[in-house]
Structure 1
Amino acid sequence: MIVARYAVSDPGKAGERSRLLEEHKAYLHGAAIRILLSGPSAPPAEGKGSTAVVIAEVETLAEFEAFSAADPFVRSGVYRSIDLFEWRPTLGLLLEGL
């Protein structure tokens, strides 16, 4: 199954986010799940939190939930909001590789 995480950073946690950035990246690179795409959005507007998306292929949503919960950004509360969901893409060039 294809799953996605859409996360919005808490602007008040910018220092914590900067401090944990390398640990967060290492966690993603060493993930036991198959991450298809991951990355931040364009820089946010003034006073708004930055956003980031992770798209992965997993066996169950619970597997993805456990992966997300262990992310250093999630553990430290860097994200103000996190949405996890199954995604069912039906069109696009990237589908050929799935």
Structure 2
Amino acid sequence: MKFAVHCIDHEGKVADRVAYYEAHKSYLSQGPVATVISGPLLAEDNETMIGSLFVFEAEDLETVRRYNAADPFNKAGIWKTISIHPFLLRVDNRS
């Protein structure tokens, strides 16, 4: 089952994002959740990172919640809000 995860950072957390990026990236390659696609959300200047967006594949919603709670970005207090929803893929134009 797929899940969309939308995370918005606390203001002023860009330096923390950079500091924890390698740990976050490593974390996304392990565990009971498969990362289908992910990347940072950007401010309207198209440069400043303000959050994260993921599509995960996992057995159930609780698994995704636990996995996301243990993410280094979350443990470092970078994310202000986290929204997790089941996601039904209808169109995928990636080659």
User: Could you tell me the TM-score, scaled by structure 1's length?
Assistant: 0.79
**C-alpha distance in 1, partners of 2:5/2:13?**
19
**Percent identical across equivalent pairs?**
25
| Unmatched 5+ stretches in structure 2 | none
**C-alpha distance in 1, partners of 2:73/2:51?**
12
Asked whether the equivalents of residues 8 and 49 of structure 1 are also in contact (C-alpha less than 8 Å), the reply is no
SS of structure 1 residue aligned to 2:63: helix
1:69 aligned partner, one-letter code:
A
Structure 1 segments of 4 or more deviating over 4 A?
none
| Unmatched 5+ stretches in structure 1 | none
Asked whether the equivalents of residues 3 and 84 of structure 1 are also in contact (C-alpha less than 8 Å), the reply is yes
* 1:27 is the counterpart of 2:45: no
Give the paired residue count.
Answer: 91
Name the one with the larger strand percent.
2
> Partner residue of 2:38?
38
For the aligned residue pairs, the C-alpha RMSD in angstroms reads: 1.9
> Partner residue of 1:2?
2
User: Could you tell me the TM-score, scaled by structure 2's length?
Assistant: 0.81
Bigger radius of gyration: 1
